[in-house]
Amino acid sequence: MKSIFLKKVFTVVILCFVFLNVLGLFLDFHLRQSNIFKINLLFNTKSHENIVLGASKSLTGINSQLLSEITHKKWYNLSMDDTKSEMHILFLEVLNNLKKDPKNILLQYDRENSYYDTMTFFDNDYQLLPFLNTNIIISNYFKPKPNYLIFKYLPIFKYIYYNTELLFPSLMLYLKPEYTHRFDIKSGDYNYPNDYIMRDSLKVAEHKVIVLKNPIIFKFDSICKVNSIKLFLYTAPMYKVNTKTDIIRKEYFDFSNIYSSSSKFSDGIHIAHHTKNDFTVKLAKIFDAAYNTH
């Protein structure tokens, strides 16, 4: 009797385990069909001729509609907050693989190191996980990272581990199918809900080196050159941060110290909402000048 009971318990456990992982596959499919994250737009929407890539400083610091009006080119902001250069090159690789190459890329870049970090699981990497089993580029991106085999072959675990980041948003899509996470579907831009004005003017000025001689930039350049894409890099405004580069690059624009007043910022690395249009105008004018002489 005891062995029969144990067999039944074991069978129930196995069936529950199989059911949960089938559910994980279904949740993956459900999320992939939506446009909830920026990565989804690469697969589910048309290609954009002109794109902005970067992290939160470009996600919240550019008015893409105004940029389009000034440059007479339609721009779409594919930036994601809490991301690194590794994610931005992945976006370009995916677009290239899908044959959705843009004509122009404006890349927000302020990297200080010269190595390519393949091991770290960055803050918003989880947004790519529903595509882990359907796209070879994304699969290769995760191979060196922690829990790759678990997330790949036991899909329910990504929803257990990232319950608030993946499970709850997937359920929210049933209530609001057009839900997007931290971006406007029309432009890709975003404003953080609380627009604080920075008042701390006592910060000591910092100095940093922007490493343009970098494996990631080499990879960007290689893909862009082969596919006739024009690549422009810029460093966004930061409060009391002075930068220099390791090499000279004519397609690089340094805006790091264009604003000296703390009232222009919401924190040390993000400009305030009311500064956004002014910076976009400056960026557009510099881009236009560089584009016309490129």
The label of the residue with tokens 């200080």 reads: 112
pLDDT for res 213? 95
Domain boundaries, the chain: 2-293
pLDDT value at 2 more than 70: no
Q: What pLDDT digit, counting tens, does each position of 128-178 carry?
A: 999 999 999 999 999 999 999 999 999 999 999 999 999 998 888 988 999
**Percent above pLDDT 90 for the chain:** 85
Q: What pLDDT digit, counting tens, does each position of 209-233 carry?
A: 999 999 999 999 999 999 999 999 9
Put simply, whether the predicted model's pTM sits higher than 0.75 gets the answer yes
Mean pLDDT, the chain, as a whole number? 94
